[in-house]
A and B are shown apart, each in its own frame.
Chain A
Amino acid sequence: MTLSELAAGWFYLFFSFAILTYLWKLNPLYRIAEAFSVGGLLAHSLIVTYGATFENLCIFPIKAGQWQRIIPMIFGFMVFFRLTRRYAWIARYPTCILAGVGTGVLFGATFDAQILKQIGMTATMFQKIDIFSAIITLISVVTVLSYFIYTHEHRGPLGISARIGRVIAMFSFGMNFAGELIWYLTLVVGILTRWFDNAIMPLLGK
């Protein structure tokens, strides 16, 4: 292992240990590491976004003859008017274009993907899986949907259905929680593994 690789291992150990000291309490070491990562992320975002947006999507196409790219570039610069109080309203134009495009790309597709397709897949599953599982799934869909009905009081049959839906939704949230737990656990284990492999074991000569 070279000196550079060993130093890398110890840099890694220092910064990750500094952050993990937060488990004890908020302290200056944690604040230093956190501030360092904020600064690094800031620079990274600026460099990458500048290259991707300004150069790749605007300057290079304009140089290649696509003059229409000047218009969104001007709108992009208009966002910076938010810094002034008097002319902040100018930033509404690019914001509204962005909101309009963002809403537009998902408008039609939402109805198809998130509503029609979901209902269709619920109906066709009776042909694909065993009847018991299909019925359980159908009951789960209907009861969870009934829980989201806010225009009618949850009483009587709707109340029972909403209660069942809530319990089933909680079971699903528990499974999401489990996934999150394993995700974070993997990160902690990854950190500890790197401490041993790249910092501690090389010093012990292993």
Chain B
Amino acid sequence: MSKSIYEKLRTIPDGYLALLSFLCMLIPILHPLGMPLTISETTKGFYNTLVNLPEGSIVMVEGAGSLSNWDEFEASMLATYKLLFSLPVKILSWGPNTDGPIITDMLMKKIEPEKNFGKVYGRDYLILGYIPGGEMAIAAIAADTHGVATKDFYGNDLSQYPLWDECRNADSYAIIISTSTSCLNMDMQVRQWYSIHGKKILEINMACCSPMSVVYFPDIMPGGLWGAKGGTELEVLSGFPGPGARLSDASNLGVMPFLLFLVLANIGYLGSKYASKEKEEIAR
């Protein structure tokens, strides 16, 4: 039996959707659209919290980014580190997963804090390696930071660095910046940092995690950056341009075929529903 037009609209082969999506993604890559950006309250909160930190504060950065999702994180992490290096604060970075320290090292090679911001490794910033255990690692660091590491990411003895002396436990840190690829990350961070030690947390995560993390905004989480969009917004606010603007612009048209097909599917559904109702009335 041949399909009606409405049934055909609901059963368009997936290949057409994929092909159209690819073509729509290519257009802004080859010819940028240059759309303006609306900055969200969570990004403003993220920015304002960092710029208002007292001089000499130590910021703990939990770098659990993933290289597989690097395009989601690159803009946010670059802009965050550049902003932190431009402020009179110190940074202690560690990796809750195996990719985290390698990403931080990549970022440092790109940013060059010594050359561009006059920072000194060991005095103004430190990179610890991967510390296993997830929530247990966070609990251990918050209770006694010295107990979880003896060498930094590069294999050097930590006791030689003046910043390491200042990083004792949760009371040493002014704010926590948590990067993660898990949407349940904020629950874990709030349990270990806020509930027990009263420390507020800023989050950098993927775009899909913002609906789950805003539950803590703004009381416990003063701000957050989610996805490339969050990174782009911070680039604009902080004045440090990066890869986010291009990526956000290039993503503009990729979803349009999906939205078009969604409209067609609904037309097909409503059309079939009323067509079958008419058939029933005629049959009566």
- A residues neighboring B (CB under 8 Å): 23, 44-45, 48-49, 51-53, 55-57, 60-61, 64, 101-102, 105-106, 109-110, 112-114, 117-118, 121, 124, 172, 175-177, 179-183, 185-190, 192-193, 196
Q: A105 and B139: CB pair below 8 A?
A: yes
How distant is B47 from chain A, measured CB to nearest CB, in Å? 20
Write out the residue numbers on chain A whose beta carbons fall within 8 Å of the beta carbon of B210.
179
The answer to whether A113 touches B195 (Cβ under 8 A) is yes
A190 CB to closest chain B CB (Å) equals 3
A-B contact count (CB 8 A): 133
B229 within 8 A of A: yes
B132 / chain A contacts, CB cutoff of 8 Å: 49, 52-53, 57
What is the CB-to-nearest-CB distance from B282 to chain A, in angstroms, rounded to a whole number? Answer: 34
Kindly provide the distance from the CB of A53 to the nearest chain B CB, expressed in whole angstroms: 6
Does any Cβ of A come within 8 Å of B44's Cβ? Answer: no
With known contacts A49-B130, A186-B247, A179–B208 Cβ distance under 8 A: yes
> Which residue from B30, B129, B136, B215 sits with its C-beta under 8 Å from A101?
B136
A106-B135, A106-B188, A193-B246 known; 4 new pairs, CB 8 Å cut-off, are A52-B129, A187-B72, A189-B71, A193-B29
In contact, A57 and B29 (Cβ under 8 angstroms) = no
Q: Are the C-beta atoms of A190 and B191 separated by less than 8 Å?
A: no
B136 adjacent to A102 (CB under 8 Å): yes
Q: Is the interface of A mostly helix, strand, loop or mixed?
A: helix
| Minimum CB–CB distance for A141 against chain B, Å | 10
Instruction: For A53, give the chain B residue with the smallest CB separation.
Output: B132
With both chains docked as a complex, state the minimum distance between the C-beta of B202 and any C-beta of chain A, in angstroms: 17
Chain B residues whose C-beta falls within 8 Å of the C-beta of A55 in the assembled complex: 151
- Is the CB–CB distance between B195 and A182 below 8 Å? no
Complex formed: what's the CA distance from A64 to B191 in Å?
32
**Complex contact B29–A113 (CB within 8 A):** no
Question: Residues of B contacting A193 with CB < 8 Å?
Answer: 29, 246-247, 250
Interface centre among B30, B194, B211, B255 (most CB of A within 10 A): B211
